[in-house]
Amino acid sequence: MVGGRESNKMGGDVIGLVAVVLTCGIPLALMYTYYRVRKLRSEERLAALARGPKFPWNLSFPSTPGRAGPAFCW
């Protein structure tokens, strides 16, 4: 251990290991997160469909339809 050469070698090995773990780990974590969010959203949609619509059925609509669409449509 002259001049701390062994500690420099060990530091290089650890940096390489960290680089490999981060290079592989970050994309895996992103894919897993994307999968979980997509799964939770689909489960939420299915649960909402099972519950049925939640709006009042006694809605009153005007008998004569007015101008449909935004004002800038000619």
Q: Encode pLDDT of 8-54 as tens digits.
A: 555 678 888 899 999 999 999 999 999 999 999 999 999 988 888 77
CB atoms near residue 37 (< 10 Å): 10
For 6-32, letters b (16+ CB in 10 Å) and e give: eeeeeeeeeeeeeeeeeeeeeeeeeee
Residues 6+ apart with CB under 8 A from 1: 7
Is the whole model's pTM more than 0.75, yes or no?
no
Q: Which helix (H) or strand (E) holds 43?
A: helix 5-51
On the question of pLDDT at 4 being above 90, the answer is no
Q: Tens of pLDDT along 52-69? A: 877 666 666 656 556 555
Tell me what pLDDT residue 13 has: 83
